Amino acid sequence: MCGIAGIVYFNGEQARKDMIQGMTNALSHRGPDADQFFIEQEVALGHRRLAIIDLSVEANQPFSDITGRYMIIFNGEMYNYAEIKSMLGDYPFKTTSDTEALVAAYAKWGPDCIRHFRGMFAFAIWDRQEKEIFILRDRMGVKPLYYYLDEDKLLFASEARAILGTNLVKRKISEQALVDYFSYQSVTSPNSIIDGIQQLEAGTWMQIKKGKLVKKVYWDITNTAVDFDFREEKKIQQHTRELILQSVKRRLVSDVPVCAFLSGGIDSSVVVGLMAEAGESRPNTFNISFDEKEYDESQYADIVAKKFNADHNRILLKPTSFLDELYNALNAMDTPSGDGINTYVVSKAVRQRGMKVALSGAGGDELFAGYSYFSQFLRLKEKNWLWKLPVGIRKMSALQAGDKKERVQQLLQADSPDIENAYPVFRQILSPKLINQLTTLSAEKSLTTLQQHLMDKKNNLHNLPLLSQVSVAEYLGYTQQTLLKDADQMSMAVALELREPFFDHDLIEFVLAIPDKFKKPVYPKSLMVESVKPMLPDEIVFRKKQGFLFPWNIWLKNELRSFCGKHIKNMSQRSFIHGEALNEYWQCFLKGNNNIRWAEIWLFVVLDYWMEKNNVG
């Protein structure tokens, strides 16, 4: 896991070392083990390394193939690199790194090499002969890639701050991105929070030669084919187990110790159980525990650790540790997010114990229908008849909806209860009406980027089972744009590599194809639990879901009141904000208006902090 950066000029300008080094300096937290460059005429490539596979200096990057034609910088891990090497026959490998396997594969197969890769990655390959750059991002979007392209140059990096650090891009906020951010607490690709800087979409590659761009989607989560007979439940469960185990095995590939986050929930417990089955030694596990019983889950983690003979480590924190680390977490944000502080605190605690790689149970809820809105969507689809009534009559049906009245009205005003209309409402933080009330942005008159993506893919989406439609919407929305983005920026801020077995694309393709009757939860995530049975004790499977549910609502009104008040005041003076309305909203929150959630206030606080820190206007 690393940080990559590059500059390619199309106007004859010569690339400079000070420029590319400034970019990698901005990424130093991602790779403390090495800092190296390739600079030749119009191109400069930079790499910050976190050494995980082949720890030798010979595996440092930028790295060339044996002919010297192709130069690569690579962020991530290719888990099946040994298999790729065996497919390349007589290639004279000089290292045991996955980087060399990747560049050798590209030299042989070109862009088609991706069909052989299993991993998480964003990489760039410069063809010194053709003067062409090839840039690719993994299927699920686990690893980030930002870029800026105009007629004179291409700038790209693992983080937007590295591009901003060149001072070649105006530090101007994107208004379209703001609508996405206020709606869903993050910015949806291909946009970024900075006008002109884009995110390369997941499952996409691009080639640029003399300023001309060719872009291709090589993997589409809404359009994958699976060859399997889905009539027998036991066979489905057996294959599900095989694929989860395969995914865990892949993510144990490392030349440094690998640990796992163990909360004691279903997802992390399955990961640890399969680590024990796949590995040759005791799994290393870490649990964040608290003296305060309302937050502590350590008793469940202890049960799992004991069952699988784990080398278990409890890290005792106070809930206020999350407040103590607040500034560090906010400073770690490459782009603003309403989430992620928990990931920062946990990652830092584990990194301080000497670990470089950790497995996470993230993704289990998305894949195995673990969230409440999976069942909400099924109930919504059962009421299809409502959408055959006139809009006015449908509105009347929302009058008894109580606190959720506005969301119900949004759904009833939609053309249908289909996933492209329902999911954005399920996941929104601020409603279009509230965005219009507090900002100058036109949220009610246009689609968000996420809504547009779902509309564009609706035909493919509708061909999937209903529960899988929710999973795919979740991958395109919160999971990819917030969860994975935060996991990357918050863990890499402390140089910890996170690996998520439930984001293995082979596993995802299969589970998305499973009919609802086999996947609909009889109890929480029953398909996964039945697939690994009898691995998990009942007290793990049937316990109440907890998680890090800290009293942010109270903290914003007390310990963080001054901090939030300062940034609300600053934000109210920005050109895209209705200042008086925002200040009034803040005061209503302080007075205890239960209809105002702390997360709504927090979006404005975080955004102002980020804009101020990065001098963005």
CA nearest to 326, candidates 591, 605, 585: 605
d(CA 505, CA 192): 25
d(CA 324, CA 338): 18
With the C-alpha atoms ordered 315, 327, 146, 573, is the resulting torsion angle positive or negative?
positive
Three state DSSP letters for 299-344: HHHHHHHHHCCCEEEEEEECCCHHHHCHHHHHHHCCCCCCCCHHHH
Q: Which two tokens stand for residue 283?
A: 């799994």
Return the amino acid letter for 609.
Y
Consecutive H or E run containing 227 = none
Neighbours of 213 (CB within 10 A): 10
Q: Is 2 a catalytic residue?
A: yes
Tell me the Cα Rg of the chain: 24
d(CA 460, CA 454): 10
**Residue 285 CB contacts under 8 Å (≥ 6 apart), including other chains:** 259, 260, 261, 262, 272, 301, 304, 305, 310, 311, 312, 313
Q: Rounded to whole angstroms, what are the CA distances from 453 to 30, 222, 605?
A: 31, 11, 28
CA nearest to 329, candidates 572, 492, 144, 146: 492
Question: Order of strands, edge to edge, in the sheet holding 197-199?
Answer: 34-40, 43-49, 2-9, 153-157, 146-149, 197-199
Cis peptide before 32 (omega within 30 of 0): no
With the C-alpha atoms ordered 508, 512, 514, 520, is the resulting torsion angle positive or negative?
positive
Q: What is the DSSP string of 27-38?
A: TGGG-BSEEEEE
The one-character DSSP state at 502 is G
d(CA 412, CA 419): 13
Three state DSSP letters for 562-589: HHHHHHHHHHCCCCCECHHHHHHHHHHH
Which string of b and e fits 298-307 if b means at least 16 CB within 10 Å?
bebbbbbbeb
Task: Tell me how far apart the 2 most distant CA atoms of the chain are, in Å.
Answer: 72
**CB-CB contact of 395 with 412 (8 Å):** yes
Ramachandran assignment for 309, one of left (phi > 0), alpha (psi -120 to 50 degrees), beta (any other): left
Residue carrying structure tokens 């066979």: 235
- Active-site residues, by number, are 2
